[in-house]
Structure 1
Amino acid sequence: MARKTDASQDTLLEFPCDYPVKVFGGNTPDFTRHVRDLLAPIIGVVADDAVDTRMSKGNRYLAVTIRFEATSKDQVDAVYEALTADTRVVMAL
């Protein structure tokens, strides 16, 4: 017999919760701003102290970590959908 599940059982997270997302892309001067602008419609304005950046060893890539208060699984899914659809994003974790 198939078991019914609802959306709240699809995740181990309890919402709202602090959620970090790490985004990798080319090391360009505007990549951090690009990621913030990309996510703003989904998570709201990102405070400066909620953003960390780290360059790759060869300085070719930039990792941008943004911490935000996730309110639902749908919101987290929308974040990853927006990031994976963007051509400047190499990877999102």
Structure 2
Amino acid sequence: MTDRIEGTEQEPPKIEFPCEYPIKVLGRQQADFETVVIEVFERHAPGFDSETIVAKASSKGTFISLTITIIATGPEQLKALHEELMATGQVQMVI
């Protein structure tokens, strides 16, 4: 996707891999949500630091977000991670 600024096309910023890459995963508050998400991350980014996971519940407690930082190795890894997270049926959004 490109943005037009005064008649010029601007490329999105390039990400240089490997890099630290925070990913926010949003889903409904369920007993096994965090476990399911972490299992997916372990398959796609083994060895990520689970101590750095930030969990935040919505104001009414209906939803929960997990922010997990991984060392991303490339766009293929990120795409596969996103697809498997969404396929769990528990994840509403990945940012």
With the length of structure 2 as denominator, give the TM-score of the two structures: 0.79
In structure 1, the partner of 2:85 is 83
After superposing on structure 2, the runs of 4+ consecutive aligned residues of structure 1 that deviate more than 4 Å are none
Kept in 1: contact 2:48–2:71 (CA 8 A): no
Alpha-carbon RMSD: 1.9
Kept in 2: contact 1:42–1:75 (CA 8 A): yes
Aligned length: 85
Gaps of 5+ in 2: 1-11
**TM-fit CA distance, 1:29:** 2.8
> 1:5-84 to 2 correspondence within 5 Å?
12-84=14-86
Kept in 2: contact 1:11–1:73 (CA 8 A): no
With the length of structure 1 as denominator, give the TM-score of the two structures: 0.81
Residue 76 of structure 1 aligns to a residue whose secondary structure is helix
Distance in 1 between the 2:16 and 2:93 partners?
Answer: 25
Higher strand proportion (structure 1 or 2): 2
- % identity of equivalent residues: 29
Residue 17 of structure 2 aligns to a residue whose secondary structure is coil
Give the direction of change, closer, same or farther, for the CA distance of 1:11–1:47 in structure 2 (3 Å limit): same
Higher helix proportion (structure 1 or 2): 1
